[in-house]
């Protein structure tokens, strides 16, 4: 069966040189983008109920652009002026670059990993006297808190935003040759929106080991698996 239509369960990329564009041009396929999940911020009251007081922390651990946005949103809601002395530990260069939306980069103490959270470990050890705050979603990879606990540093997690399943009811009678998933939450969204979903000839593409496990547990047949 020749693939003609693909649904990607993420927002459309803003990049002009997106590989999806090259795929569309080369293979003459139709690619649609639709987020199966979205992020909603929690309010300052909810953060306070977690016994989080921003003035108690001297360093912020930022694992995504969402964590950047919602940390500064909560700071504004709490009328907390983030001090110039605050240290920022960013999981990747992309997160550090995004941080410039809120701070003057050259005037701040910003520490950056290349891509993986583990690349920050030597920095946490170097600055273990700091008090760290990890702004996160309600869905956080267990390896992150486990790693921080093993380091023995003074840290706390604050749930600043939540991952919410999007309403996909308008797609009920729309057929695609391939559905592409990047997280277990995407698989969960598919099944909650369409509990009677039957895969039949639809090909499922997944990225990441946790997504593979979620799709397999859901009884889906995985036809395309990255990075293989």
Domain with CATH 3.40.50.10090 in the chain: 5-36+166-226, 40-163
Q: Which CATH class is domain 5-36+166-226?
A: alpha beta
Q: How many whole angstroms separate alpha carbon 211 and alpha carbon 21?
A: 24
For residue 107, pLDDT over 70 is answered with: no
Kindly state the percentage of the chain with pLDDT values over 90: 77
**Tokens describing residue 176:** 């695609």
Q: Which CATH class is domain 40-163?
A: alpha beta
Q: What is the DSSP track for 128-185?
A: TTSEEEEEEES---THHHHHHHHHT-EEEEEEEEEEEEPP-GGGTT---SEEEE-SHH
Q: What band does 134 get if pLDDT is binned at 50, 70 and 90?
A: very high
Q: How many whole angstroms separate alpha carbon 11 and alpha carbon 36?
A: 9
Q: Which helix (H) or strand (E) holds 110?
A: strand 109-112
Q: What is the tens place of the pLDDT at every residue in 19-72?
A: 899 999 999 999 999 999 999 999 999 999 999 999 999 999 999 999 999 999
Cis ω before 227 (30° cut-off from 0) = yes
pTM to 2 decimal places? 0.79
**Tokens describing residue 192:** 């909650």
Q: What is the tens place of the pLDDT at every residue in 68-95?
A: 999 999 999 999 999 999 999 999 888 9
């Amino acid at each position: 069966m020749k693939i003609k239509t693909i649904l990607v369960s993420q927002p459309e990329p803003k990049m002009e040189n997106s590989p999806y564009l090259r795929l569309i041009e080369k293979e003459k396929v139709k690619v649609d983008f639709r987020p199966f999940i979205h992020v909603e911020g929690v309010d300052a009251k909810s953060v306070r109920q977690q016994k989080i007081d921003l003035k108690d922390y001297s360093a912020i651990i930022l694992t995504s652009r969402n964590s950047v946005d919602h940390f500064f949103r909560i700071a504004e809601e709490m009328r907390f002026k983030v001090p110039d002395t605050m240290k920022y530990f960013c999981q990747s260069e992309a997160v550090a670059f995004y941080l410039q939306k809120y701070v003057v980069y050259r005037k701040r103490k910003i520490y950056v990993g290349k891509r993986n959270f583990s690349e920050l470990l030597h920095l946490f050890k170097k600055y273990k006297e700091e008090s760290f705050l990890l702004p996160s979603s309600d869905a956080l990879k267990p390896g992150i808190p486990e790693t921080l606990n093993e380091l023995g540093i003074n840290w706390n997690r604050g749930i600043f935003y939540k991952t919410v399943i999007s309403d996909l009811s308008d797609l009920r009678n729309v057929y695609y040759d391939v559905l592409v998933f990047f997280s277990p939450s995407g698989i969960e969204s598919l099944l909650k929106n369409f509990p009677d979903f039957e895969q039949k000839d639809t090909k499922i593409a997944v990225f990441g080991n946790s997504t593979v496990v979620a799709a397999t547990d859901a009884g889906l047949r995985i036809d395309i698996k990255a990075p293989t």
